[in-house]
């Protein structure tokens, strides 16, 4: 099912990874719109929007996204978007870049997770999606709405099974 026919589309590059607990409400829902392209020695990611995110507490959602680069170690390669207050439909419009060779990128999986910031306790996990970068034509910008899933593991170092 294509959500936006006027955009170039990702092939089904999502992966299935052993799941852990979703958000405190026990439900993961929503989508995140991202575009990716490899240009001038960089993987360029644009995090556009999210929609229909799980409600953590009425009036308290403070969503942001976190991407984990397809290179190690994770602590050095995580990038976050700004926090958007009090919404289940945030607009980020933030570019994220990772400088690395295309050969390395083609061997990796990009993780995009969505969180709701909590200033007084742990952030609340809202869902993740994973992209196998080898399956994408990164010469052209690829843009798509991706569904969030229950997974909350970095794809690096785990067995990845392609979803049919």
In a domain, 11, yes or no: no
In a domain, 115, yes or no: yes
In a domain, 5, yes or no: no
Name residue, tokens 């403070």: 62
For the chain, the first-to-last Cα distance in angstroms comes to 13
In a domain, 108, yes or no: yes
| pLDDT for 157 | 34
Global pTM reads 0.72
What is the total count of domains within the chain? 1
Q: Which domain holds residue 79?
A: 24-136+143-149
Pair type for strands 109-116 and 63-68: antiparallel
Express each pLDDT in 87-106 by its tens digit: 888 999 999 998 989 998 88
In a domain, 160, yes or no: no
Residues with Cβ within 8 Å of residue 84, at least 6 apart in sequence: 62, 63, 64, 90, 91, 92
162 against 73, higher pLDDT: 73
CATH of the domain at 119: 2.60.40.150
Express each pLDDT in 24-71 by its tens digit: 445 788 999 999 999 999 999 999 999 998 876 666 677 888 877 655
């Amino acid at each position: 099912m294509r959500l936006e026919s006027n955009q170039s589309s990702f092939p089904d590059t999502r992966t299935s990874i052993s799941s852990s607990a979703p958000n405190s409400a026990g439900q993961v829902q929503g989508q995140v719109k991202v575009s990716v392209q490899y240009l001038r020695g960089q993987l360029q990611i644009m995090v556009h929007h999210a929609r229909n995110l799980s409600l953590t507490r009425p009036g308290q959602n403070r969503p942001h996204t976190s991407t984990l680069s397809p290179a190690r170690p994770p602590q050095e390669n995580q990038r976050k978007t700004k926090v958007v207050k009090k919404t289940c439909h945030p607009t980020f419009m933030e570019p994220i870049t990772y400088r690395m060779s295309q050969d390395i990128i083609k061997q990796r999986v990009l993780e995009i997770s969505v969180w709701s910031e909590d200033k007084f306790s742990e952030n609340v996990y809202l869902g993740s999606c994973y992209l196998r970068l080898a399956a994408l034509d990164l010469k052209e910008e690829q843009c798509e709405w991706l569904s969030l899933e229950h997974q909350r593991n970095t794809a690096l170092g785990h067995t990845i099974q392609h979803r049919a």
